[in-house]
Structure 1
């Protein structure tokens, strides 16, 4: 779904900036897709590891990053797993909602991060917004701040920050996908929203956190 919104540059940069203060010197991204976020983050940290579960996307991810960031490590990774690591942070955007055992997936992310390091998550918000577009793209759930915090706590993480993001985006998404049953895709409306509406939404939410949003953003710490 997000790959269909590649022209939403301001949206991507907003979410890139949310994670930047927590990434540290050697983060790993879980579920990099085609690398839109990886490309943004890789140029701002000393080392970066991108991962993808789908074999076809993995090939495309390796080709894209090799052309633009040859020093980035790219590997296949499925969740849950039993790997251990010493990464400065694990970041995963719009992945957890695809995984039945989301607590196991969070434990796997926890085990990749050095003690006291952060696990940074963005997931789609509110079950009432579950639409044919969600189902078509493999979503098994949507979240509230309460349900995401509960899953993180059950996974042995300590929630440090959690809030909604992109309040107007939730309204637009609900109308487009539930009322009009459209699939999110590039087009004039996306460009108009991203260029004119989203910067205002971002600025407002930096002053006052909204009680709802299109996404839930969370940072949780591994045991020290």
Structure 2
């Protein structure tokens, strides 16, 4: 079994900071919705920010977390959301399921055996369902923040495709997202050695930069981005 590793304090700061980036989160939420079917499971729900957004669109939604402390917080937060089931899940595992899709955002980069983790996600999903992923892009952007939060890799479209195909999945969509975000992240974390957390930097990015980036990328797929977005079908 593999748990996400890294500095819990830094992870918490980053998660709390990202929670305030509402426009960013809703953009990425909407990328996944057309591919999630009727009964999706999220792998690595963290504090539940994405789960709360996705749950509005489905009669049933399952949120999972590996870390015991975050799992407690996740269960408390979802107590008032009756269509969300919360459970612990670590990857890789040998469980099989009948979910319509598995969605996992910014989790795979923490797991050494990422192909094994993808196979575990595949086995949770019925044939014809999807695995929907967001992962951080480009190894050159690996920063002290990545290392402190337990990242073991960053991806390109090529390496993401290779991992998905090795796991026995059929790639349906694969593209970069948030081009300006990559530039901002690299400058903030690698050049100025800052940690993305709640504050003016995140608010300015989310309210001013993000809407422009989203609008541009709805017209033209960028050749680079802060993240790789992938949809892969279970045969």
Tell me which of 189, 193, 206 is aligned to 1:177: 189
CA distance in 1, matches of 2:145, 2:230: 24
Q: Structure 1, residues 51-93: CA drift from partner, whole Å, max 9, x if none?
A: 00000000000000112x1231100000000000000000000
Deviation at 1:131, TM superposition (A): 0.4
Which residue in the other structure is 2:8 paired with?
none
Which residue in the other structure is 2:101 paired with?
89
Q: Give structure 1 regions of 4+ aligned residues with deviation exceeding 4 angstroms.
A: none
Q: CA RMSD in A?
A: 0.7
Point out where structure 1 has 5 or more consecutive residues left out of the alignment.
none
> What TM-score comes out, normalization by structure 1 length?
0.98
Asked if 1:79 corresponds to 2:54, the answer is: no
Secondary structure of the 1:120 match is strand
Deviation at 1:188, TM superposition (A): 1.0
Which residue in the other structure is 1:158 paired with?
170
> What TM-score comes out, normalization by structure 2 length?
0.93
CA distance in 1, matches of 2:22, 2:74: 19
Asked if 1:56 corresponds to 2:69, the answer is: yes
Secondary structure of the 1:162 match is strand
Secondary structure of the 2:153 match is coil
Tell me which of 145, 154, 164 is aligned to 1:142: 154
Which residue in the other structure is 2:3 paired with?
none
CA distance in 2, matches of 1:206, 1:4: 25
Contact 2:17 2:202 (8 Å CA) reproduced:
no
Which residue in the other structure is 1:167 paired with?
179
Matches within 5 A, 1:115-130: 115-130=127-142
Matches within 5 A, 1:7-18: 7-18=20-31
Which residue in the other structure is 2:211 paired with?
199
Point out where structure 2 has 5 or more consecutive residues left out of the alignment.
1-13
